[in-house]
Structure 1
Amino acid sequence: MPRRAARDAALGGVLAAAVALALPAPAATLLVNDGLAPPDPAHVLGPGDTTLVDDVWVRDAGCGSALDPAAPCAAPGVASGVAIAGTDVNAVFAWDGSSATLGAGATAGTLSVRDSGSAMVDGASIAHASIGDAASIVVAAGQIAQLDLAGTGGVDLDGGAIAATSGGAARVAIDGATFTGAANFANVADFRMQSGRSNAFLFLGNGAASISGGDFAGQLWLAASTAALSGGTLAETATLVASDASAVDWTGGLTRDDAGGAITTDIDVRTGAVLRIGGSAFAVDGVPVASGTVLAGGGGLSFATLAGTLASGEAFTAFVRNDGSATIALVPEPGTGALAALGVAGLALRRSGCGASRRRRGRA
């Protein structure tokens, strides 16, 4: 029996060793800081290449091996780069001027781009992406569940689907991205949208926007900001809100019927905002009014139906609400310069009665 016991123990040890060899090693951190970049084969990660990798760090060659987010780059040298496609990683960190490209089939829980780093998302699926400092990110295709912006860098959203955004950067350009949730931007010095779609869009706080295209099906809210709206499409269910002393120039764009009723877009001006509408053939509640008229709230909540033709040639109809502190100026063509000759006194909108409910024509 002792001999059999010894034999069984030895066999058990061999089996245990075999099992250990068959199991993958614990996930590890991959540090890319050699100053090389794709197409170098060592910097192109595909299916199977990151099976044992949890996090991927891309750093300047002169920054050593420090992975602490607070660790500065002591000796900047040559930036590194990595391209990932067709495989999964937990997180990707592109720092110190280095770059990361996440292509088709790549998935990542986190994408962090800081310092002067850059990232390209071209088909990947990312749970949380963020930029800071002077970093930049380009989204060409793929999905991002949450995109957080900060710092003095730039963001180009040329495609893909983004569920939610927050924060701001020095520059945000949207030319094709689709926002499936709330798109919130704050403190953006240079915001431009040429195409894309948003179901709920809010531009909040001390920014400047130029919107020449895009499709808005939800709320376009401008707070403490300046904006020039020269194109794009407001859905029949959309609302344009200007608040907190915003100054908005609206000269072009379309409204589209998506609810089976009259093509009518809401306009809501409040808290000292000024909305200048450039165009002609204006009418308030069906009564023609001259260009150059200023619609004042008259000190209380007021409303009216406003129609006309924008300077770009598109006809519009809007249900207008004013909290009494804002103004809407109907600016004659060719531009908004004529506003200087206008006073704030003008045609007051109808006052709403206390507790009155608002009903749009054709819907309850």
Structure 2
Amino acid sequence: MARYRSNHLKEVAMIRRLLVAAFTVVALLANVPARGAFTTIVNSPPDVIAPGQVFAADTQINLYPGTSAAPGDFISLGGFNAPAENVELNVLGGYAWSVEAWTGSQLNVSAGLVNGANLLGGRGVMSGGQAHTWSLFAQSHLEMSGGVVTQIFTAGSDSAPDPDSAEFIMTGGAVGLLDATGNVIIQGGSIDDMVFRGAGFVELTGGSIGNDFEVGYVVFGAFPDDPTGETVVGRGGRVTVRGGSIGERMVLYKGKTLDYSGGVIGDAIQAREGSQVNIRGSHFFIDGVELTLPASGELLITQRDVALTGLLADGEPFRFDLHSQPGLGDYFSPDATVAIMLIPEPRSVVAAAALMLAFVVKRATPRLEHQLRSA
């Protein structure tokens, strides 16, 4: 009886292992994207991929658990003089040191680890797994819905919008550092640190960007005749915030524009000389006194050292303290442009006006609080 029980338990354990293995294979195969017909399909393992191997047109490569690469090894999807049309690499497990994806190819990461993913005109999709670095060169495109990335770099122009700029679209996942010169669309996920250097755009409708988000960048000590010791590099560039959240100490440099109509921006924002902030919403107040906008629905705010409050277009209350000197929380240079723009409000926004007034009272000075309660 004991021998029968022992054999039965061994058989059950073996069946469980087979079921787990079968489930894993099915799950991995389900993650392989459907593309056009391939004349060559490489599955590793068992197929062996040589370091530095270049894959030409109409080839699919699937990396499964058990694949490993030595430091410095790379896989190239096409090349400078090699066609990459309909070349696809699916990282479904294992470890790839470095990948080059040229124009016409696609790199998909859903599991495993990639040390360096370089899009040289190619496309990338990341839904899971890990990557140390994604580098997006001109005309490259990356969509991220999951997974974890240490850092992402994107190429583009810092002087004028350029149709060849790289594009990064994020709907999920987590990124440590995003250093973007190309265009960025964020709908979900989280970014710990971000710098936007480009002349194109960033759109934030969901997700989060951490503290110290820099829009534009400077070099220090490059020109001795600059009394500030810093020189702003590049011109143009627009950040549109309609949702999501940005942490504290966001900095907007010269030539950069912030369009703000929804979501949350943390304390201690800085609008430096030559930058522009457009706020779209309703029920605007300065120091508790409601503003009357002209027929155009737009009004420049030239006052400084006052509190600007109101309701954003999405119904959320906001407050900026327009300090004229840095170091006191929010900072809006007297040479920065601040404009408020009236947006027709839905009923829900009208109902929220009372909440906004309470928000103003809560953060007002005692003198201003007394004025508001007496009005």
TM-score normalised to the size of structure 1? Answer: 0.63
The answer to whether the 8 A contact 2:261-2:312 is kept is no
Query: Partners in 1 of 2:190 and 2:292 — Cα distance?
Result: 39
**Out of 216, 240, 263, which is 2:269 matched to?**
240
**Equivalences for 1:319-358 in 2 at 5 Å?**
319-322=321-324, 323-332=333-342, 334=344
The answer to whether the 8 A contact 2:312-2:318 is kept is yes
Deviations 1:237-263 (A, max 9, x none): x33332242232211xxxxxxxxxxxx
The structure with the largest helix share of the pair is 2
**Equivalences for 1:100-249 in 2 at 5 Å?**
100-104=107-111, 106-114=112-120, 116-151=121-156, 152-169=165-182, 171-180=183-192, 182-200=193-211, 201-204=213-216, 206-223=236-253, 224-235=255-266, 238-249=267-278
| Structure ID, larger Rg | 1
Cα separation, partners in 2 of 1:146 and 1:331, compared to 1, 3 Å: closer
Query: Partners in 1 of 2:308 and 2:66 — Cα distance?
Result: 61
Query: Partners in 1 of 2:95 and 2:150 — Cα distance?
Result: 16
The answer to whether the 8 A contact 1:127-1:144 is kept is yes
Percent of aligned pairs with the same residue? 22
**Equivalences for 1:229-308 in 2 at 5 Å?**
229-235=260-266, 238-251=267-280, 278-284=281-287, 286-291=288-293, 294-296=300-302, 302-308=304-310
Query: Partners in 2 of 1:166 and 1:96 — Cα distance?
Result: 22
1:94 shift after superposition? 1.2
Kindly tell me the number of residue pairs found equivalent between the two proteins.
262
1:179 shift after superposition? 1.0
Cα separation, partners in 2 of 1:309 and 1:84, compared to 1, 3 Å: closer
Query: Partners in 2 of 1:225 and 1:86 — Cα distance?
Result: 41
Query: Partners in 1 of 2:84 and 2:152 — Cα distance?
Result: 29
1:312 shift after superposition? 4.4
The answer to whether the 8 A contact 1:193-1:210 is kept is yes
Cα-Cα RMSD:
3.1
Letter in 2 for 1:46: Y
Corresponding residue number in structure 1 for 2:318? 316
Cα separation, partners in 2 of 1:136 and 1:222, compared to 1, 3 Å: same
Corresponding residue number in structure 2 for 1:90? 97
**Equivalences for 1:35-74 in 2 at 5 Å?**
35-38=57-60, 43-50=61-68, 55-60=73-78, 63=79, 72-73=80-81
The answer to whether the 8 A contact 1:172-1:188 is kept is no
Letter in 1 for 2:336: A
Corresponding residue number in structure 2 for 1:14? none
Deviations 1:9-31 (A, max 9, x none): xxxxxxxxxxxxxxxxxx95152
Letter in 2 for 1:34: A
Query: Partners in 1 of 2:241 and 2:319 — Cα distance?
Result: 19
Query: Partners in 2 of 1:174 and 1:313 — Cα distance?
Result: 21
Letter in 1 for 2:66: G
Query: Partners in 2 of 1:139 and 1:240 — Cα distance?
Result: 28
The answer to whether the 8 A contact 1:79-1:97 is kept is yes
